[in-house]
Structure 1
Amino acid sequence: MLSDIYHTHGYFCASHPWEIIIGSVTVTTCLLSVSLFTAGSRICGWNYVCENDKEEEGSDLMILTVTRCLAVMYLYLQFRNIRQLGSKYLLGISGSLMIISSFVLTAVIVKVFGGNISGLGEALPFFLLLVDLSKACALAQYALKSKTQEEVQTNIAEGISSIGPAITLDSICEVLVIGVGTLSDVKQLDSMCCYGCLSVVAHYLAFMVFYPACLSLIIQITRTRNNGRPLLQLQQLARVLEKEEEKKPNPVIQHIKMIMSAGLMIVHIHSRFITEEGEKSRFSSLLTTTEMLERDRQPEMPLVQFYLLRLLTHHIDYTFMFVLAVFLTVKYVFYDDHIEEELTRKLEEASQTRRRELSDSLRDGTSQTTESMDNIVQSQDETDFKQKNTVSFTQPTETIEFKFSIGDDSDSEEEDKSSDKGVQTENKMSHYKPLQRLPSLQPPRSMEQCLEILNSDGGPSLLTDEEIISLVKSRHIPAYKLEIMLNDFERGVVIRREMLLNTLKQSSVLDNLPYSDYAYEYVNGACCENVIGYMPVPVGVAGPLLLNGKLFHVPMATTEGCLVASTNRGCKALEQSGGVTSVVINDGMTRAPVVRFSSAKRASEVKKWLEDKDNQNKVKESFDTTSRFARLTSLHIVQAGKLLYIRFIAVTGDAMGMNMLSKGSEKALAMLSLEFADMEILSLSGNFCTDKKAAAVNWLEGRGKSVVCEAVIPAHIVEKLLKTTVQTLVDLNISKNLVGSAMAGSIGGYNAHAANIVTAIFIATGQVKKL
């Protein structure tokens, strides 16, 4: 109930910023110009005789001066801490708005009650020491993570509803604690505590009314100037303040504050209404009394001249404080750049260290790679907070541009205006050295000598690259067997690159394709031929995914921007919803050879023979002898004229199992050839499998593992995390995934996208573990 009231109030302030700001300024100006409850303005020394003018001399003046200077330095340190977060101006402006609006509102409240505005000088240290910019930063975080102006209003309302009750309780506690000082008989302490209470109230009103409107208006203006898109600085700042949202108020501390407030309230009621019943309130007596009317006098000079004269003569303490404030302001704006430079330097050093560790781990093997990657992830966690902010607010001579980050649920949709290319694949910071062509010290030897050396004990190691190239061109060494003939995989790749470059017009086309420090022995004869290098693909991680009660981190290798981020957000939504339940309902990899007979009748007879269960057992016995894991489960036979398509269906364990199916099918066909001598084997794959292409038979009969997954996502998670509604998702699924896919003639599941996610997982994990 209470949070709903704060939410409504915050949404109203954020959705009507101009009305709130103009109304606040208008009311403030009117109240400062015309007093509503007093006959005139009393300014000490100008039109009013103060009885304590001489009391501020000596030690009191020294104490007040030191206190004010300390308060100014405390305020400077707060702004400096904000700058360490990566924001020089944005949060600084927010804090300045809070301070100025609170101070002006305090003066208005004093004016309304007929008090002396000049007395605020005594309470100035109180006012500055009570300023807490972290509250403004916390509310700014809610607003800056929005993508649209409508989300800004909603998020500000959520921020007010979240931190509003805690700020209200803190303000009440501060007023009650400071108000205890007004119960003393020391007049100067009474005055300072009175103005301190007014400062807390004014600061609270400014934060709850004026600041949300200003925050909404500033973001709206920046989006308008940036064509409706959030500025990069605002997005980076939102990431800097991301952890503020996780800092929930401690309920134990809240209960202690409530108990303390209740006790202080009893003290105030007892002191003001029981022990001093019938007397005038101390608070009102501090602001206005009948004795004040007797000390009024006519002013002798204009008000502006009076303030300037008093500033330069009688109030040297104010002048000193003003000079200190100007000095610290200039230092903050112009001379504190070393903070950002130091953060930038540390970021670059950490980045270089991570690159070296990763490069070393790749050379040492997979076990050490895993260990070093853990260290890299740990170091990344320690420097991630600084990295996300320093890069955006500084401009070193050579920087790394981060397009998106994983785990950031407020995905950035910012486009890069610096390039209009459809596919941006420029390598701005190449770490790979191009192939160096070193001249041979001697001319190439004759072909006969090269062949003799090649067949000798020393073999290819005694030949130069030019001589090996000549042997390849003369077909004495097959180009695809360079690695085996040379017994040096990397050298074989280098020579093949050299041969390719000799046929190209531009010799720099392979400069950015790395080739060194790679385990080519696992590639040869397994997954790639005619190798000229390798392409590094970034590997991200999504998750954790809560599947069947267990958490899984999903590695994904891709160059598609935001693919890992969107997958990670889906995993987070599923985890918060209780996870996913999955069931394997069918398991069977397929291979369908095509065979031909002399007539359709003969093909029909063989089809009936294969459909007999006893005969299928014979085929199964022959099939199962080829593997320890592959087991034939059934046969699916279709006929097209004289052609017969035999679809072998078998389980293959955890592997995809295409090679197992091929070997088993070949063995089964050999057995069938003995039974039917007139059978002609046309192809081991008759495209009825169906492999590597969309086909209705796969969707109807299944191929591989068929899995059913179930998850229930509550509406509040859809709205909060996925930034939409259930009704919108249902409507989109019908219009896009169902109707749109039917219009396109899609074969298989009608979904938004799945192939890119599956592909990224396969690239990251591979199929066969050989390392």
Structure 2
Amino acid sequence: AVAEPGVAVLCPVDVRVSPPSQQPTLATGRSAGREQTKRRRAAMRVAYRNAREEDPLEEIEEGEQERQQREQHELEQQRIGQLVEKTVAGEIPVHALETQLSDCDLAVRVRRGWLTQNTNKSLSGLPMQGFDYKSVHGVCAEMVVGYVPLPVGVAGPLLLNGKQYQVPLATVEGALIASTRRGCKAISESGGASARVTKQGMTRAPVLLFPSAMRACDFQEWIESADNLPRVQEKFASTSRFGRLQSVKVAVAGKQAYARFCCATGDAMGMNMVSKGVNAVLDDLIANEFPDMQVLGLSGNMCCDKKAAAINWVEGRGYSVVVEATISGDVVTKVLKTTVQDVVALNTAKNLVGSAMAGALGGYNAHASNIVTALFIATGQDAAQNIESSQCLTLLSAANDGADLHVSCTMPSIEVGTVGGGTGLAPQRACLDLLGVAGASTETPGANSRELAMVVAAAVMAGELSLMS
């Protein structure tokens, strides 16, 4: 058969008939027929492949696309190289690349080139692609050159207040998730845990300087007066839709006064919200009541943020949560592989006496910080706030005449939010969504962050149970 130019012959199969003397029997005929069918199909596949490979139009089209892509890539690399040179020369401020270039991805590429030239170190092991850099610009990080991937696992199901959760934990500590999951199993198989928020309020404590100690005392009396609090609350509320001032407590040290403002902040963790409101209050007081007052610092360290402090342990900061569960004796034996008496004795010797021997501040627990930190990273919280958020008192006691185990964790300063900061990043928001608390509550402001705080406490209790057994 002769094909037209550019047209493939699909079935070049020999179909000549054999002479009668050479014709096969019925059985051999069937076998030969099957073989002929196989050859025909194989020939069709080969012809089809050849037709695609030999199509000159397709080759030209693919070649043109590759050439265009290659040229585009070369131009892009050339542009990046030029921008790197300008950055190295100081013509473009390296910290302002995002603003100068109006392209966050390009800014990261240029900054990586600048860093490589300045340090003579390769960044090939630090990922860059596959991240939304626009989402972190001006919100989460500066001088960005890439991101660090972390594994995220889930511990659960955790039955808390009648609802099941799969708790996302981001960690590089092997066995942590598996251990926490075992604690979740013990809690869930024993009927679940109950948790309640006992107090809520984010704090900010500016340090204020007065001409004399007596004048500092005047300020304390004025701002702590029930008659003046409504005016201060009104000024604070004017700066936010959700921020509400709850109380102000002042500590005087000579001519200095430390005013600890405690505020409700909706579903946000609230540090920025509180700082803005406090600043407005101080401006108003300077203008109208205490013109001789000097603001030394918007934070005087009595807040107390990112430090283990007795004031947070006693007064609370963020969410104060208590969570409890009664673990059946069977579950203690089968899941936790211990006895009620042994785990109670260990908790007293380790978490209570041992912590006292160490002079631990808020550390009357086995490893609350492990779970708090892993959950904070997974859900976009401020990881440094694990310090005060991990303050935890773990108590174990025999229940039901010694047959079962009662466990509780009291955590006075869990600082979490479901809006703002890292909670808006896609992976972290996905973890919040897994818990059913992503974003702001549309029904009750603060409900989502309140629920998250209780999940944190319950997950900590699961980790405590497992490690202590």
Query: Is the TM-score greater than 0.5?
Result: yes
Q: CA deviation at 1:463?
A: 7.3
Amino acid at match of 1:562: A
Amino acid at match of 2:317: R
Q: Does the aligned pair in 1 maintain the 2:87–2:114 contact within 8 Å?
A: no
Q: Does 1:681 align with 2:295?
A: yes
| Aligned residue number for residue 595 of structure 1 | 208
- After TM superposition, the structure 1 = structure 2 runs for residues 245-260 of structure 1, keeping only pairs within 5 Å, are none
Question: Cα RMSD over matched residues?
Answer: 1.9
Which of these two proteins has the greater Rg computed from alpha carbons? 1
| Aligned residue number for residue 759 of structure 1 | 373
Q: Does the aligned pair in 1 maintain the 2:216–2:252 contact within 8 Å?
A: yes
Q: TM-score, normalised by structure 1?
A: 0.39
Query: Residues 271-316 of structure 1, C-alpha deviation per residue, up to 9 Å, x if partnerless?
Result: xxxxxxxxxxxxxxxxxxxxxxxxxxxxxxxxxxxxxxxxxxxxxx
| Aligned residue number for residue 111 of structure 2 | 496
Q: CA deviation at 1:655?
A: 2.1
Pick 1 or 2: higher relative contact order, CA cutoff 8 A, min separation 6. 2
Secondary structure at the residue paired with 2:327?
coil
Amino acid at match of 2:232: V
Greater strand content:
2
Amino acid at match of 2:184: C
Q: Does 1:748 align with 2:362?
A: yes
Q: Does the aligned pair in 1 maintain the 2:204–2:278 contact within 8 Å?
A: yes
Q: CA deviation at 1:464?
A: 2.2
| Aligned residue number for residue 9 of structure 2 | none
| Aligned residue number for residue 638 of structure 1 | 251
Q: CA deviation at 1:548?
A: 0.6
| Structure 2 Cα separation of the partners of residues 749 and 520 of structure 1 | 37
| Aligned residue number for residue 555 of structure 1 | 168
Amino acid at match of 2:305: D
Secondary structure at the residue paired with 2:248?
strand
Q: 1:500 to 1:462 in 2, by over 3 A?
A: closer
Q: Does 1:669 align with 2:282?
A: yes
Q: CA deviation at 1:504?
A: 2.3
Q: CA deviation at 1:691?
A: 0.2
| Aligned residue number for residue 199 of structure 2 | 586
Q: Does 1:613 align with 2:240?
A: no
Query: Residues 152-198 of structure 1, C-alpha deviation per residue, up to 9 Å, x if partnerless?
Result: xxxxxxxxxxxxxxxxxxxxxxxxxxxxxxxxxxxxxxxxxxxxxxx
Q: Does the aligned pair in 1 maintain the 2:88–2:114 contact within 8 Å?
A: no
Q: Which runs of 5+ in 2 are unaligned?
A: 1-70, 382-419, 427-469
**Of residues 86, 98, 122 in structure 2, which corresponds to 1:471?**
86
| Structure 1 Cα separation of the partners of residues 92 and 229 of structure 2 | 48
Secondary structure at the residue paired with 1:496?
helix
Q: Does the aligned pair in 1 maintain the 2:211–2:292 contact within 8 Å?
A: yes
Q: CA deviation at 1:462?
A: 11
Amino acid at match of 2:259: I
- After TM superposition, the structure 1 = structure 2 runs for residues 19-30 of structure 1, keeping only pairs within 5 Å, are none
Query: Residues 658-680 of structure 1, C-alpha deviation per residue, up to 9 Å, x if partnerless?
Result: 11111111111111111211111
| Structure 1 Cα separation of the partners of residues 193 and 247 of structure 2 | 31
Amino acid at match of 2:354: G
Q: CA deviation at 1:491?
A: 1.8
Q: CA deviation at 1:441?
A: 8.4
| Structure 2 Cα separation of the partners of residues 537 and 650 of structure 1 | 34
| Structure 1 Cα separation of the partners of residues 132 and 193 of structure 2 | 38
Amino acid at match of 1:556: L
Q: Does 1:657 align with 2:267?
A: no
Q: CA deviation at 1:498?
A: 1.1
Amino acid at match of 1:481: A
Query: Residues 51-77 of structure 1, C-alpha deviation per residue, up to 9 Å, x if partnerless?
Result: xxxxxxxxxxxxxxxxxxxxxxxxxxx
| Aligned residue number for residue 735 of structure 1 | 349
| Structure 1 Cα separation of the partners of residues 268 and 195 of structure 2 | 19
| Structure 1 Cα separation of the partners of residues 242 and 182 of structure 2 | 37
| Structure 1 Cα separation of the partners of residues 74 and 275 of structure 2 | 52
| Structure 1 Cα separation of the partners of residues 333 and 268 of structure 2 | 39
Secondary structure at the residue paired with 1:711?
strand
| Structure 2 Cα separation of the partners of residues 497 and 544 of structure 1 | 42
Q: CA deviation at 1:541?
A: 0.7
**Of residues 150, 153, 156 in structure 2, which corresponds to 1:543?**
156
- After TM superposition, the structure 1 = structure 2 runs for residues 41-440 of structure 1, keeping only pairs within 5 Å, are none
**Structure 1 stretches of at least 4 aligned residues deviating more than 6 Å after TM superposition:** none
| Aligned residue number for residue 573 of structure 1 | 186
Query: Residues 106-143 of structure 1, C-alpha deviation per residue, up to 9 Å, x if partnerless?
Result: xxxxxxxxxxxxxxxxxxxxxxxxxxxxxxxxxxxxxx
Q: Which runs of 5+ in 1 are unaligned?
A: 1-437, 443-460
Secondary structure at the residue paired with 1:551?
strand
Amino acid at match of 1:733: N
| Aligned residue number for residue 101 of structure 2 | 486
| Structure 2 Cα separation of the partners of residues 753 and 581 of structure 1 | 21
Count how many residue pairs are aligned between Structure 1 and Structure 2: 313
Q: CA deviation at 1:528?
A: 0.7
| Aligned residue number for residue 387 of structure 1 | none
| Structure 2 Cα separation of the partners of residues 571 and 606 of structure 1 | 50
**Of residues 648, 664, 671 in structure 1, which corresponds to 2:261?**
648
Q: Does 1:512 align with 2:125?
A: yes
Q: CA deviation at 1:749?
A: 4.7
| Aligned residue number for residue 531 of structure 1 | 144
| Structure 2 Cα separation of the partners of residues 679 and 462 of structure 1 | 57
Q: CA deviation at 1:751?
A: 0.4
| Structure 2 Cα separation of the partners of residues 762 and 710 of structure 1 | 21
Q: Does the aligned pair in 1 maintain the 2:111–2:145 contact within 8 Å?
A: yes
| Structure 2 Cα separation of the partners of residues 480 and 490 of structure 1 | 14
- When structure 1 is superposed on structure 2, of 464-473 and 719-728 the one drifting more is 464-473
| Structure 2 Cα separation of the partners of residues 696 and 599 of structure 1 | 28
Identical amino acids, percent of aligned pairs: 54
Amino acid at match of 2:82: E
Q: Does 1:717 align with 2:331?
A: yes
Amino acid at match of 1:478: P
| Aligned residue number for residue 91 of structure 1 | none
Query: Residues 328-350 of structure 1, C-alpha deviation per residue, up to 9 Å, x if partnerless?
Result: xxxxxxxxxxxxxxxxxxxxxxx
| Structure 2 Cα separation of the partners of residues 441 and 696 of structure 1 | 60
Q: TM-score, normalised by structure 2?
A: 0.64
Q: 1:642 to 1:538 in 2, by over 3 A?
A: same
Greater helix content:
1
